[in-house]
Structure 1
């Protein structure tokens, strides 16, 4: 399946559309049609499309480009048909019904709320005349932790060096390397443009903490070596820190860079890593009424491949728990732990879909199985970490736990039953295997013990920025 970007000047059907409305010619309102990262020009066949409105991401859809048709015309018509603003109560004709979002209290990271068929947020999310990029972004350090993947790392670094942010540095943390391949890549290709830092202790959180220690910016951005960053990613991700002094963390939108294998399509058909197209600010002083489990629904706030923190807030919170994350027995949860710690310390967290990275999803069934188990383990591991390091949060967590577990069971059962967006590319045609739900549940049971084992291994490990 092709991945493409379509930029429209307007989502309204053009005047010349005729009796079929949005199914007419796209007219001059099509600003650009581009393939996804590393893809070929868009041609006949199935396409997963990010729709932009004057550059800003507003939704995704899937469509089929017939042989001999103009891809821009077909995709623009589909976008306007499905995503155009309409009067309340009037459905979009021909639109794929959106999957009913799980209850906001669901404490799962593996099944974000948006589905593969059609996804969108409020198009008019900015007031007329308002410039969401009016505040200059602060100096930023971008931290990329990696281990023995120089080819993927190079692709990610190339996209990071193309950012439009006016003042940033890149730090690559080589985590417990087996060879000198990463160091050689940095020295050979990137020289002084990228700083190389070695972290011999394995674990993603440990590597991120080493990057925190090496950073010199007041804002710290984190992404992975398997992403391609949109050129405006870093500016959009860091501008909120200049606009609101209470912001402690910002997360952004993650979309698939490729959809070429059944495993990649399955993951994206059930939401992938996307958190939707509606900007949102989470404020601990005003808990959201629609999220009764707040702030323990960390999987809804964002993901570690696209996050940034105010440096002083992250350091004051103790950084990332070194007993969490990939590379430890906990298997994950390092990002979720940091999100909740920031909120628990009184800072706001903002999600902005303008900050976009394209993620290379895992390609095989085995990869997806490992991912399902790891996400389940990471979920309960991060909750265990919170209790271990912030015992004062235990009463609030216990009060929310019964409902949280009930929602976790309900959501995995919902996926097992194939509920969701019907149609050609929804969950009805890509049902979630029961085996993956079972693996996720097994991971949830194993997470606390995994965290205890990992914590024993890092006991006494000092925070890198406190080392003498």
Structure 2
């Protein structure tokens, strides 16, 4: 979701002196980075690692790659996402063939294996009955695009529910009741906050809805998204949560390119199972590095499991003073209850990143605030986890410093997820979690300021909740 306009005192940027929890506006502070050339985003499907091109189309809502320009493409092998590739299309070259050649020259052995085996949902029995919840506020134009993609899913049994959060107008209601009448359900949640909206959607589902999926109003879902995201629940009774792949739909502004350069939302092309009974050896902070599990724009839960842990903490999330952390809290709650979590790259959504420098500044601050707000929520609501958190605190502080560190831009080719050939330009899409991508010092400082503010924001959100409960 994207609550750009949701009222929250923590979001406002007052005049000097600034209060805690605010982000300076674009005119106060470092200028935006130099404008890099736009990067076209494409969806490339090959018959095999060395096979012919089956299709090459622009990502939803974006321009087609053109000769002489930079292009970033999702590479599929007969429909299965396996890699991304970033390259410059030579003059007078066919864009699809140039992208295929760049993928082949940079691919790794592991990339080919990523497409082995049946696709999720192709086994016996099919995916379980599901519902998709989309929380939104005053973004009817983008919501319409998202809903159209959700109604085109190949899942055999699902419903779509829009939660209209603290609406100021009837635009969302009119869209759902008008253009999507009879195909999309609508509920209104007057209390602002993403977690509250998600809980409202959960409460509105029938008891026979086995899986609830959540996505945002600024995504376009791949037609196989819901099937891929929900099918693992049928195969694994201990599974409580799944997450999927999130790729950029457009890379046309410096802000969008910078965000993707910082790793974006993608978590790679290798499926992964997180099991609390067998903590992963390469995750010493498990389960508290919840950001590595996935993101709220692409997640699903076994409905009974999510209800049993109390849903999302309503004092977290965009639209509250806490500014974020609702999805992270959900992931840790599910794992702490003994359920497994699976990441599956076959479940793909295209995300429309924020477009302006001020958007990225807000997002950097929100990342930091949401991280420590969710950790505070875990300790407040699940105090039994305190010893485990304290034991990981030294490594956690080092991890926080690493992920928020300033990194200058690069001016050399790089290799990214699944073998990514990059042009020799600064600020190009990089690998999630690699900590070798560019990240301006101003954004590093904002993230760290957000981390300091997060517990205060969570406390303010809790107080606001109590005030609303009073007669």
TM interval, short-chain normalised = 0.7 to 0.9
Instruction: Report the CA distance between 1:414 and its aligned residue.
Output: 5.6
2:41 matched to 1:3? yes
- The whole-number CA distance in structure 2 between the counterparts of 1:43 and 1:185 is 35
Corresponding residue number in structure 2 for 1:456: 463
Corresponding residue number in structure 2 for 1:293: 285
Corresponding residue number in structure 1 for 2:365: 373
CA pair 73-431 structure 1, distance change in 2 beyond 3 A: same
2:177 matched to 1:153? no
Kept in 2, the 8 Å contact 1:141–1:219? The answer is: yes
Instruction: Report the CA distance between 1:78 and its aligned residue.
Output: 1.0
Equivalent residue for 2:383, pick from 358, 380, 391? 391
- The whole-number CA distance in structure 1 between the counterparts of 2:409 and 2:401 is 12
Instruction: Report the CA distance between 1:132 and its aligned residue.
Output: 6.6
- The whole-number CA distance in structure 1 between the counterparts of 2:412 and 2:388 is 32
SS at match of 1:413: coil
Corresponding residue number in structure 1 for 2:276: 284
The correspondence of residues 339-358 of structure 1 with structure 2, limited to 5 A, is: 339-358=331-350
- The whole-number CA distance in structure 2 between the counterparts of 1:167 and 1:371 is 35
Runs of at least 5 residues in structure 2 that lack an aligned partner in the other structure: 1-38, 415-422, 430-436
Kept in 2, the 8 Å contact 1:227–1:357? The answer is: yes
Instruction: Report the CA distance between 1:213 and its aligned residue.
Output: 0.6
- The whole-number CA distance in structure 1 between the counterparts of 2:120 and 2:228 is 12
- The whole-number CA distance in structure 1 between the counterparts of 2:64 and 2:151 is 24
2:452 matched to 1:445? yes
CA pair 129-328 structure 1, distance change in 2 beyond 3 A: closer
2:313 matched to 1:321? yes
The correspondence of residues 54-69 of structure 1 with structure 2, limited to 5 A, is: 54-69=78-93
SS at match of 1:276: coil
- The whole-number CA distance in structure 2 between the counterparts of 1:137 and 1:461 is 40
RMSD, matched Cα: 2.0
Kept in 1, the 8 Å contact 2:136–2:164? The answer is: yes
SS at match of 1:202: coil
- The whole-number CA distance in structure 2 between the counterparts of 1:84 and 1:122 is 5
2:228 matched to 1:236? yes
Instruction: Report the CA distance between 1:82 and its aligned residue.
Output: 1.1
Residues 204-263 of structure 1: per-residue CA shift (max 9 Å, x gap): 000000000112211000000000000000000000000100100000000000000000
Residues 120-164 of structure 1: per-residue CA shift (max 9 Å, x gap): x64314656787731511110100000000000000000000000
Instruction: Report the CA distance between 1:40 and its aligned residue.
Output: 3.8
Corresponding residue number in structure 1 for 2:158: 168
Instruction: Report the CA distance between 1:316 and its aligned residue.
Output: 0.4
CA pair 358-207 structure 1, distance change in 2 beyond 3 A: same
Runs of at least 5 residues in structure 1 that lack an aligned partner in the other structure: 13-27, 86-120, 463-468
Residues 258-296 of structure 1: per-residue CA shift (max 9 Å, x gap): 000000001111210000111000000000011111000
SS at match of 2:180: helix
Instruction: Report the CA distance between 1:11 and its aligned residue.
Output: 1.0
Kept in 1, the 8 Å contact 2:120–2:232? The answer is: no
Equivalent residue for 1:311, pick from 285, 300, 303? 303
Kept in 1, the 8 Å contact 2:66–2:89? The answer is: yes
Corresponding residue number in structure 2 for 1:134: 123
**TM-score normalised by L of structure 2:** 0.84
Kept in 2, the 8 Å contact 1:220–1:310? The answer is: yes
Bigger fraction of residues in helix: 1
- The whole-number CA distance in structure 2 between the counterparts of 1:148 and 1:212 is 21
2:258 matched to 1:263? no
Instruction: Report the CA distance between 1:304 and its aligned residue.
Output: 0.2
Kept in 2, the 8 Å contact 1:254–1:358? The answer is: yes
- Size of the aligned set, in residue pairs, is 412
The correspondence of residues 72-221 of structure 1 with structure 2, limited to 5 A, is: 72-83=96-107, 85=109, 122-125=111-114, 133-135=122-124, 136-216=126-206, 217-221=209-213
- The whole-number CA distance in structure 2 between the counterparts of 1:385 and 1:448 is 8
Greater Cα offset, 387-396 or 56-65: 56-65
Corresponding residue number in structure 2 for 1:16: none
Residues 24-79 of structure 1: per-residue CA shift (max 9 Å, x gap): xxxx6211111110234432221111000111111101112223211122111111
- The whole-number CA distance in structure 1 between the counterparts of 2:116 and 2:290 is 29
Kept in 1, the 8 Å contact 2:413–2:424? The answer is: no
